[in-house]
Amino acid sequence: MKKIDLLQAPFVQEMIETTTNLYRLGWDERNGGNISYLLQEEELAPFLDLTKVIREIPMIFDASALAGRYFIVTGSGKYFKNVAKAPDNCLGIVRIKPDGKTLEVLWGLSEDGLPTSELPSHFMSHIERLKIDPEHRIVMHNHATHLLAMTFTHELTERALTRTLWQMCTECLVVFPEGVGIIPWIVPGTNEIGEATATKMQDFRLVVWPHHGIYGAGKDMDEVFGLIETAEKAAEVYTYVMAQGGVKQTITDQQLHALAKGFGVTPREGYLA
Is 212 marked within a binding site? yes
Q: Is 162 in the site for ligand 2HA (CB under 6 A)?
A: no
Identify the helix (H) or strand (E) that includes residue 207: strand 206-209
Q: Taking contact as CB under 6 A, which single stretch among the options 4-12, 16-24, 114-122, 219-227 is the one that binds ligand 2HA?
A: 114-122
- The helix (run of H) or strand (run of E) holding residue 263 is helix 253-263
Answer for which of 21, 29, 32, 146 binds ligand 2HA (CB under 6 A) is 32
From the list ligand 2HA, Zn ion, none, pick the one residue 197 interacts with, judged by a Cβ distance below 5 to 8 Å according to partner type.
none
Of 118 and 236, nearer to ligand 2HA (C-beta) is 118
Which residues are marked as active site?
Answer: 118
Q: For Zn ion, what does the binding mask look like between residues 208 and 247, x meaning CB under 5 A? A: -----x----------------------------------
CA–chain centroid gap for 167, Å, is: 23
How many positions of this chain bind Zn ion (CB under 5 A)?
1
Counting beta carbons within 10 angstroms of the beta carbon of residue 260, is it exposed (0 to 12), middle (13 to 18) or buried (19 or more)? middle
Instruction: Report whether 218 contacts 227 (CB < 8 A).
Output: yes
Q: 37 forms bridges with which residues in the sheet?
A: 72, 138
**Helix or strand or coil: residue 49?**
coil
Are 55 and 97 within 8 A, CB to CB?
no
Please say which residue, 172 or 193, places its beta carbon nearer to ligand 2HA.
193
Which residues does 244 contact at the CB level (< 8 Å), separation at least 6? none
Smallest separation (angstroms) from ligand 2HA to the CB of 230 = 21
Determine whether the annotation assigns residue 143 to a binding site. Answer: yes
| Of positions 18, 31, 162, 197, contacts ligand 2HA by CB under 6 A | 31
141 annotated ligand binder: yes
Query: Is 33 a binder of ligand 2HA (CB under 6 A)?
Result: yes
For 48, which DSSP code? -
Cα–Cα distance measured from residue 114 to residue 92, given in angstroms and rounded to the nearest whole number: 8
Options 10-18, 25-33, 103-111, 243-251: segment touching ligand 2HA (CB under 6 A) = 25-33
Of 213 and 216, which CB lies nearer to Zn ion in the complex structure? 213
- Tell how strand 206-209 and strand 181-182 pair up: parallel
Binding site per annotation, positions for Zn(2+): 141, 143, 212
